[in-house]
Amino acid sequence: MIYHFKKTLRNRSGFTLIELIVVVVIIGLLAGLVLPQFIRQEEKAKLKATRAQIELFATALDTFRLDVGRYPTTEEGLQALRQKPGGIERWDGPYLKKDLPVDPWNKPYVYQSPGDHGPYDIISYGADGVPGGDGDNRDITSWEQ
C-alpha cells in the first residue's frame, strides 16, 4: 500500500520548475520577435498618415492659390486655409473642412512660403520635433512626396 501511494505521487500530473522556465523563455523569444515588427508597423502608419496630411495641405493650398492668385505667406501660415487673412479679396474658404491637424506626434506642421524647394515647403520634424533624424525622428516633407 505504501508503494502504491508513492507510485501515485510520481504519476501526478503537473509542471516542474524546468518546464515552466522553458515555457517562459519561449514566450520571451516570441515576444522579442513580434514586438519589433509591431513597433515598425506603428512607425510606418505614422509616416503614411503624415504624408497623407501633407498631401491634403497641398490640395488645399493649390485651391487657395487658384482663388487668391498666390499661396499663403509664411506669416499667414496654414491657418489661412481655415480663416481669411486680412487684405485678401477673393478668399473663398475655408479650404480645410476641419481645424488644422497636428502631425501624428502632436506637433504643428512647419509651413514656409516661398519655400526652399518650391512655392511652399511643409515639414513635419517627426517624433523628436527637430530637423534631421532617422526612423521615427525622420523629417517628412512636401517636396519628398
Predicted confidence (pLDDT) per residue in 35-61, tens digit: 777 667 778 888 899 999 999 999 999
Q: What is the CATH number of the domain that holds 78?
A: 3.30.700.10
Task: Please check whether residue 37 lies inside any domain of the structure.
Answer: no
Helix (H) or strand (E) holding 123: strand 121-124
pTM summary value:
0.71
Q: Which domain holds residue 144?
A: 45-145
124: in domain: yes
Pairing of strands 121-124, 110-112: antiparallel
- Is 10 contained in some domain? no
94-118: average pLDDT: 92
Cα–Cα dist 138/125, whole Å = 7
Residue 125 placed within a domain:
yes
- The count of domains in the chain is 1
